Structure formats: structure tokens, C-alpha cells
Amino acid sequence: MGRPGGKTFPFHMTVSPINSNALAADGRSLNALKLQAGQNTPASIKEAARQFESLFMRELIKSMREATLKSGMLESPGGDLGQDMLDQQLAVQMSGMPGGLSELIARQLSQQMAPQQAAPVPLAQRQTRPTAELAVPVPLAQHQTRPTAELAASLPRPAANQAEFVARHSAAAAQVERTSGIPSGFMLGQAGHETGWGKHQIKMPGGSNSFNLFGIKAGAGWSGKVAEVTTTEFVNGAPQKMVAKFRAYASFEESFKDYARLITRSPRYAQVSQQTGSVQAFASGLQRAGYATDPDYAAKLSRAINQTLQLQRAQA
């Protein structure tokens, strides 16, 4: 495997293991990394792959910063060094997560370093995910259900009410994830976006809570309770106030379950339920399917989901 800039790193060498919380960016650390991969054990290959993902993420962050215009007012050698150290730490934190680039690197290393074994089964035959997803490589920026380096650098720090909202509903979201396959972070992010992180929840006529976290409207097929409120809809791109009927539930848990049923069972969202490997694809799919009339819904939802994923990692 190589990294940006055309440089490659051989994998067959030796030394003591490097600190798993550090980035192999100097000569000694790289020699240690080469040795670990050469030991051909699952643990050493996994660590080597994680380090190479860190190096790649560091180059990605560096390229992003170099492409950003600088004012020159606060620039100094000390500031550049501090920024480089911060970028290294961010690269380490963003690597080694489930479903990340390091898993692909580790799989390739294992295959290349064990030629005596039987030929590996093709990826499309080993996994149970839809073949359409496997046939087309997923771009790095969309591959993981966590913020990428570029997104993590641009996202604002989650507010206290966002953290409180995620913590409050995490158990219900996790339970529904196990039965529906929709990542809890996706559901929590959408619920947070729809309710202003709990500040603007739909109320019943008497002022009680409708427990509708996802803004699901009550259509002709809905036989449960209804909350009728004034909402903002976009008609030909322009916002308009109108009265609409929304579903009402007995609890927040019911809201999560009903949302999952809608996404996984409705033909309207059939494509969306297959796009849970990418925040951007999931949000864009919901907008294309007509979940909301806001023309900027996908971008706003992606931001909310990525902030939620940040919070989940911090709370883990």
C-alpha cells in the first residue's frame, strides 16, 4: 500500500511495537511499524493497517489545510508546529474504527503475506450485503458511518443540549438499531434535526407531548392519535406556513420504532434503507424520496448526523 505523494512503505522488517496511540511519523516508529507487519500476526497486521490509515488521514488533513487561504496575521513557526501536532492527533483518533480504511488494508496485507494459504474467497461472496454496494467502491468520504477528517475539522463542537439529547435517547435508538439495521447515530441525528435537539417538539392540542421525534405526518393510512400544528413547508423553493397533521405516540420509543418501520418497509424509502453505510448517501436518499420539502434538507441532516456520531464516540 502507498500513501499520497507516491511514497510506499515496505512491510517486512522488525523492532519493538510502537505506541498504539501515537502516529508513526518518524524513522524509528516507521521501522517498528514495518517490523510489526512482518511478524504476520493478526494483532501486528491490524496495528500496521491502523497506522497506515492514520498516515493517510494526516496527509488528507494537511492537503485540506494547504488549500485553505491564510491571513498571515497569526502565522509563525511555533503555530505551524502546534497545528501539525494537532493534525497528527486528529489523524490517530480518526483511524482504526470499525468499517474504516484500516480494515481494507489489513485484509489485503493478510492475503499478500499468506501465499501458502488457499486463494481467498472474493469479497462479493464472503459478505451478505447487497452486491450492488460491493460492486462499486465507496469513496473514502462516504465509506464510514463516522465523520471523515475533513468533516471533523469543519464541524462545530456539539452543544450541551445536543449531548443531552443524544444521551437521553441513546438506549431507544440502540434497541431499534438491533431490529432494523439503521445506525442509531443516523436516527438520533435526524431526530435532533427535526426537533431542534428537543427544543421544538410537536405538541398535542392540550399541550402534552406527541412524542413524534421525526416529524412524520399522519396520512390516510394512519389510525392512531394525531397532532395538528402549523409547520413550514417549501413550495417551489419558497417557505410557506401551513397546518398539517402529524402522528402522535405514547412514548419516544414508539416514535423510533415507527420511524424504522417507515424507512425499512415503505417502498418509497426502499433505496434509503440500503444506504446506511454512508451519511451523505442516506441523507440525500431521504431528500430524493421526498421525506422533507426543504431543498437543503440533505446537507442539514448530514451535519446533524455527523455531529451525533462525534458525540457517540465521545460518550463511548
Please identify every residue annotated as catalytic.
Answer: 233, 258
Grid cell, residue 180, equals 432494523
Distance CA 19, CA 221 (A): 58
Distance CA 133, CA 151 (A): 23
Q: Quick one: which of 299, 309, 26, 281 has its CA closest to 166? A: 309
Distance CA 313, CA 316 (A): 5
Q: Within the chain, where are the H helices?
A: 27-38, 42-66, 77-93, 101-112, 123-126, 131-135, 140-143, 149-154, 160-180, 184-195, 252-265, 279-288, 297-315
Grid cell, residue 85, equals 501536532
Length of the chain measured in residues? 316
Distance CA 282, CA 133 (A): 13
In single-letter form, the type of residue at position 94 comes to M
Do 144 and 99 touch, CB atoms closer than 8 A?
yes
Distance CA 187, CA 182 (A): 7
Grid cell, residue 9, equals 512503505
Give the single-character DSSP code of 94.
Answer: T
Query: What is the secondary structure of 235-249 as a DSSP string?
Result: ETTEEEEEEEEEE--
